[in-house]
Amino acid sequence: MFFVDTLEIEGLGNRSYLVGGSLAAVVIDPPRDIDQVIATAARRGVRIAYVAETHVHNDYVTGGLELARVTGARYLVPAGASVSFARTPVADGDSVAVDVGLVLRAMATPGHTPHHTSYLLEEDGRAVAAFTGGSLLIGSVGRPDLVEPRLTERLARAQHASAHRLADELDDDVQVLPTHGFGSFCSSSQAEGDATTIGAERKNNDALTKDVDTFVAELLTGLDDVPAYYAHMGPANAVGPAPVDLTPPRSADADEIASRLAAGEWVVDLRNRVAFAEGHVAGSFNFEGEGKLATYLAWLIPWGKPVTLLAATAEDIAAAQRELARVGIDRPAAAATGAAQTWIGEGERLASFRRARFADLADARERGEKVVVLDVRRDAERAGGFVNGSVHIPIHELHGRLGEVPDGEVWVHCAGGMRAAIAASLLDAAGREVVAVDDAFTAAGEAGLPLTRPAGTD
């Protein structure tokens, strides 16, 4: 009998897997913080014999090299990947014995990257699971445009061929266990559902139901924005990431927080957006610890800029530090916990701004108030409809385009509230009068706000 333990990396929208039998196991695409992988293996009572990468990752820093070093496991990396560390290169058809009756076989599935490799778990000679990384995902495939623009169409065609190879060679009941597709921007679209099989994908996945030309044309048209920090992930993984340091950062008092802000460093408040709006350190930015912290902070922050974290508890700081380490923001410059009032000097006051719903915005417009409506959703989201007269600056561009926001009170919205809170904090720090619309975009039409929608929609 074999087991598959799934390690959810929720903030980044990825999964890693611990797979094995009664004595030994292999880890597929491990996260940077390997302690959780080791703990999972310990609970199973198995030895980590192999660590396998499906590709050189573009969206997170791998823990594979360090996990192999710590455990003594063989580190399996696709032979075509250009890396500068010692590893066991694997090519199409190579296999290793994981445990009694369990074999892991490599299958070349280029498309997400030129060297992308899936791994088939075979029990007594029969494939039972396919670890497809960024190849065949749940209802989708990994995006082909992260390596080199000139290769994008070629890799999109390779994705189609790789999906068909998996479907042609594997039985319907084989589990498909991808790394991407659960919120990661490495996926060309997001997964609908939590589990799948080759048979289900054969019926529902565009790569398997559409001809190659139609599939490629639609895939390339639908590609979304690429987070800026992705440019740093591939090189870090190719060189070989350093071990992660999750020891607590140094404590900062009110004077140090003020000094860091004065020096142009980033001070990030991890509290929920309601608490932040009610009272925060002037000049600080709000990236909720419970939101997609790593994705959006790493996307917006100038790479290498020192960051100080503020949170209610040390546990909140530790969780954020772990998540940020996964994308290469290794050590916060400092941190502070407790009540927000303790983060400012004696006699100073916390800054604040208003929160509202789309119905409040409709009322303000009805009263004839001159307000600026700022939409910070991505281009693809806005293409589905927007508030008439709104200004559009995607959240990941806002910090560099604050000067383009028209004068006046700014009502900022996104699709649900989290990104609007980030944007509101950026605007507030820049001295703008701001109202954060904390509401689902579907409520805009319900509130009577006039919307522009694509032709053919209600």
* Residue pLDDT, tens place only, 62-94: 999 999 999 999 999 999 999 999 999 999 999
How far is it, in rounded angstroms, from Cα 58 to Cα 347?
Answer: 47
Q: pLDDT band at 458, cuts 50/70/90?
A: low
How far is it, in rounded angstroms, from Cα 305 to Cα 184?
Answer: 24
Portion of the chain with pLDDT greater than 90, in percent: 94
For residues 1 and 21, the answer to whether their CB atoms sit within 8 Å is yes
Q: What are 194-213's pLDDT values in tens digits?
A: 899 999 999 999 999 999 99
pLDDT at 184 over 90: no
pLDDT at 402 over 60: yes
Tell me the average pLDDT of the chain: 96
Q: How many CA atoms lie within 13 A of 16 on its CB side?
A: 30
Q: How many CA atoms lie within 13 A of 135 on its CB side?
A: 31
For residues 265 and 310, the answer to whether their CB atoms sit within 8 Å is no
Residue 375 dihedral angles phi and psi, to the nearest 5°: -100, 115
Pull the structure tokens for residue 354.
Answer: 């208003």
Helix, strand, or coil (residue 261): helix
For residues 441 and 416, the answer to whether their CB atoms sit within 8 Å is yes
Q: What are 344-396's pLDDT values in tens digits?
A: 999 999 999 999 999 999 999 999 999 999 999 999 999 999 999 999 999 99
Is the overall model pTM greater than 0.85, yes or no? yes
pLDDT at 301: 97
For residues 267 and 285, the answer to whether their CB atoms sit within 8 Å is yes
How far is it, in rounded angstroms, from Cα 168 to Cα 142?
Answer: 19
CB atoms < 10 A from the CB of 458, how many?
5
- For residue 236, the Cα-to-chain-centroid distance in whole angstroms is 17
